[in-house]
Amino acid sequence: MAYESAGAPDYFNIDDLLTDEHKLIRQTMRDFVKREISPYIEQWAQEAHFPSEIVKKFGDVGAFGPTIPTEYGGGGMDYISYGIIMQEIERGDSGMRSTASVQGSLVMYPIYKYGSEEQRKKFLPKLASGEWLGCFGLTEPDYGSNPGGMVTNIKDMGDHYLLNGAKMWISNSPECQVAVVWAKNEEGRIKGLIVERGMEGFSTPEIHNKWSLRASTTGELVFDNVKVPKENLLPNIDGLKGPLGCLDSARYGISWGAVGAAIDCYESARKYSLERIQFDKPIGAFQLIQKKLAEMLTEITKAQLLTWRLGTLMNEGKASTQQISMAKRNNVDMALHVAREARQIHGGMGITGEYPIMRHMMNLESVITYEGTHDIHLLITGADITGIQAFK
C-alpha cells in the first residue's frame, strides 16, 4: 500500500465512518485555513500578532459554536463536525484553534446550557457571527489545577452583584466584549456571571513575552468592585460542575485539534524526507527516518480512532468526563512527540519559520498544560480506575 498524501493521513479508512456532510465541513474548513491562516501564520507568530480580523472571518465560516442550535446563530451540527472543525483549524495553528474553541465551548456553550432565554438571545447570535469575542474566566494566579479554591467573589447588593478578584491566563481576554466568569458567592458556592466590556472596574491586561500561542491573545481579567446586573447571572447552574461541564466540551475539541497539529508536522516531515538528499539518496530511504515516520503515522491513526469513537459517544450523550480527559491527554502528548520527531527529520531547517514544526511544538507546550495539565488528566484516569482521588 503506497501511502498517498491527499490531505490528512487516513491509514485506516476513517473517512468511511464520516458522512458526506462531515467531509464537506472538513473541506470547507481546510480551504478556509489555507486561504486565511496558513499564508500569514508564521509572520503573526514571529511578531506575536493576534489578527483581530480573523474573529469575524471565523464567524462567517461557522467556526463559532458549531453545536449550538441554529436559532441562536450556531451551526446545529453534531460533535464529530465540531471535532473536524477544530482539527482543521489546529492544522493551521493551535492559537487560532484556541480562539475558536474558547468562543464555542467556553463562552457560547455555558450561555446556551446554563443561561436564560434572554441571555441566549442577547449574546449568542453576536458571538456566533464574530461580532463579539468572548473569554472564560476560571483560572486564577494562585488556583489553576484546583479551581475550587478560587478567591474571586460576588456579594449580593440588592439590585446587582459586586464582583472582586482576578483571573489569569485567559485566552481572548484583551479583545473580548464578553467574559463568562466564575466566582464564589457569600455562601461559598461557585456561580457563573456574564461580565461585559465597559462595566466600571473591569479591565483585561494583556500578557506579553509568550514563547507559545504567539498568534493568540492572552491576558488577565481584573475585577475591582464591578457592578454586575442580576440578570447577568447564569441561572441554571450551581457549583464547580458548571465550569467543569464547559471544560468537557473544550477538552473534546482539543483532542481533535491536537491531531490536526500532529498531521501538519507529519505531512511536512514526510515531504521533507523525500526531498532532502544525503549520502546520494533521500533521507526517507534510511531505516531510522522510516521508523520515525511509521511510528508518527501509527500514533496519529490511533488518536484519530480515539477521537472518532469519542465523538460518537458525545453525539449519543454517553461520553464521560473521564473518557474526554483520557483523549485530551493522550492526543496532545502524541502531537508533541510527533512534533519533536518531525523537528529532527527536518534537521536544522526544523527550527526556522520556513516550516511549521517549531511553532507547533511551542504551541503544544501550552496545550498540554491548559484545560487540565498532563499530570492531572492522568490522575483523573487513575481515580476512575481505583476510586481513590490522588490529587487532593
More confidently predicted of 346 and 1 = 346
pLDDT of residue 172: 98
Cell of 218: 492572552
pTM for this predicted structure: 0.96
Question: Which residues are registered as beta bridge partners of 227?
Answer: 162
pLDDT at 378 over 80: yes
**The pLDDT of residue 369:** 97
C-alpha 175/C-alpha 159 separation (Å) is: 28
- The residue-averaged pLDDT of 164-175 equals 98
Active site residue 117: no
DSSP string, 168-179: EEEETGGG-SEE
The CA distance from 171 to 194, in Å, is 16
Please check the confidence at residue 229 and state whether its pLDDT lies above 50.
yes
Q: Is residue 6's pLDDT more than 70?
A: no
CB neighbourhood size of 245 (10 A)? 16
Asked whether the predicted pLDDT for residue 4 surpasses 70, the reply is: no
Question: What are the pLDDT digits (tens) for 7-47?
Answer: 578 999 999 999 999 999 999 999 999 999 999 999 999 99
292-to-18, 61, 228, 266 alpha-carbon distances in Å? 28, 36, 54, 10
| pLDDT score of 7 | 58
- Closest by CA to 185, choosing from 146, 230, 219, is 230
Residue 163 above 50 pLDDT?
yes
